[in-house]
Amino acid sequence: MLKNTQQLLDLMARLRRPEDGCAWDLKQDFTSLIPYLIEEAYEVVDAIERNDLDDLRSELGDLLLQVVFHSRIAEERGLFNFDQVSAAIAEKLIRRHPHVFADAVFDSDEERHQAWEQAKAAERQEKNKAVAQSSVLSGVAGSLPALMECEKIQDRAAQHGFDWPDVPPVFAKVQEELDEVKEAWTSGDQAHIREEIGDLLLVAVNLARHLNVNPEMALKESTKKFSRRFHYIEQQVEASGRRLKDCELKELDAFWHEAKTVLKNPK
């Protein structure tokens, strides 16, 4: 295993060699690689969701390449190298698992989770100790998908007592925000509508948190479900020799409801 890892590091060094490396690899930097890093992470998720284990192995390799690529660029600049990246995550895992690598004892998953969050908070405090007024929300990456960023921000606030104690008030808040969206819509003020839609999405994420649902995954699954049902509508319309635009909305809606039954109970 170590031999294969070293081979990968050597290959990347060769690709980045100024005198005879790859022109494309040589011109990359941390910023230019961001789209590829994000794409590879999502392709790993896609392989998992499709339960394609062969593809998962391949996509994990592509994601690992991004770690190696960034580490090589950092090494060339005298910042850090792959070995230091590996050492840092190993140290972090040991620090965050005192019940495995030390003598800590936790009686429940909740206690383990609290200890994990306390360890993360201590790490953030250490990282931000040079900042005079560091917020408890510091450190959440602004480049995360919006739902994921929102969830993490709310989690941070909740850890410091800023959260509803139970679910019913969150349902009430969702209804309140929905009413405000409708009020903004009647006003015709597009900026206000956008603001209220944002507030509605934010409180929907909060509801998901309180119901122990990952909002990012929930939306992704619902989008896939929408796509499957819409594809069914397309099939039915095509079978009738028409185009979607040739059909009344009432007929398309009937196909939609039909799809909900057919796709739920396939023959």
pLDDT tens, 196-214? 999 999 999 999 999 999 9
Q: For helices 53-76 and 82-96, what crossing angle results, to 10°?
A: 120
Q: Which residue has the higher pLDDT, 107 or 208?
A: 208
- Answer yes or no: is pLDDT of 17 > 90: yes
pTM value is: 0.65
- Answer yes or no: is pLDDT of 118 > 80: no
pLDDT band at 135 (very low <50, low <70, confident <90, very high): confident
Identical topology for domains 2-96 and 135-213? yes
Mean pLDDT of the region 23-44: 94
Instruction: Write phi, then psi, for 132 (nearest 5 degrees).
Output: -65, -45
Q: Which residue has the higher pLDDT, 73 or 267?
A: 73
- Answer yes or no: is pLDDT of 265 > 90: no
Q: What are 84-96's pLDDT values in tens digits?
A: 999 999 999 998 8
**Class of CATH domain 135-213:** mainly alpha
What share of the chain in percent tops pLDDT 70? 94
pLDDT band at 113 (very low <50, low <70, confident <90, very high): confident
Mean pLDDT of the region 140-157: 88
Q: For helices 109-127 and 82-96, what crossing angle results, to 10°?
A: 130
The pLDDT assigned to 259 comes to 94
Q: Which residue has the higher pLDDT, 124 or 264?
A: 264
Task: For residues 18 and 21, give the distance between their C-alpha atoms in angstroms, rounded to a whole number.
Answer: 6
DSSP 58-125: HHHHHHHHHHHHHHHHHHHTTS--HHHHHHHHHHHHHHH-HHHHSS---SSHHHHHHHHHHHHHHHHH
- Answer yes or no: is pLDDT of 25 > 90: yes
Both structure tokens of 12: 């990347």
The pLDDT assigned to 115 comes to 79
pLDDT band at 192 (very low <50, low <70, confident <90, very high): very high
The pLDDT assigned to 266 comes to 58
Decide if 148 contacts 219 (C-beta within 8 A): no
CA triplet 155, 158, 159: central angle to 5 degrees? 90
- Answer yes or no: is pLDDT of 229 > 70: yes
Mean pLDDT of the region 43-61: 94
Both structure tokens of 38: 């994000």
Mean pLDDT of the region 168-190: 96
Question: Domain 2-96 sits in which CATH superfamily?
Answer: MazG-like (1.10.287.1080)
Domain ranges of the chain: 2-96, 135-213, 217-264
The pLDDT assigned to 13 comes to 97
Which residue in 238, 240, 201 sits closest to 218, CA to CA? 201
